[in-house]
Amino acid sequence: MTQPIRTFEDLSSETTPAGGNEMTKIGFTFDDRRLLELKARYARAEVLANGVGDAILWIGRQYNRLVAGIKADMRVRAAEAQLRGMTDRELADLGLCRADIAFAVREAAEGVVPQIDGVTGHVIAANQNLRRAA
């Protein structure tokens, strides 16, 4: 049995479904198809560009957070070094002893304050890592 002659419109390709080009069957012209393809390419390029732009901005924000954290740590270390350079008498005038230097500086920088129980008078540690571990 012989095969019927197939026209170009009936052939399929990677971009069209089998059985021919459906676009020509519903009345799209070549220029209409080309315009749709160009719009689709533009939309894909726009989505990709927005994604890349957002990624660059996110990396920039992370870099700024890193630099700000390093600067804050350097300020805390400089304050500790300055207090450690003081004599015991100068620290006593400030109401500190050498053991309190690190806590006093971090309290001022981070706002960490120990809590004192009003009934028993016991100091609740500002470092709450023990509570999280239990």
More confident site: 27 or 73: 73
88-119 residue pLDDT tens: 998 888 888 888 888 888 877 776 555 667 67
How far apart CA 60 and CA 99 sit, in angstroms, is: 39
124 contact partners, CB below 8 Å, separation of at least 6: 114, 115, 116, 117
Tokens of 19: 């059985």
How far apart CA 41 and CA 67 sit, in angstroms, is: 39
Q: Is 116 helix (H, G, I), strand (E, B) or coil?
A: strand
56-66 residue pLDDT tens: 999 999 999 99
108 contact partners, CB below 8 Å, separation of at least 6: 79
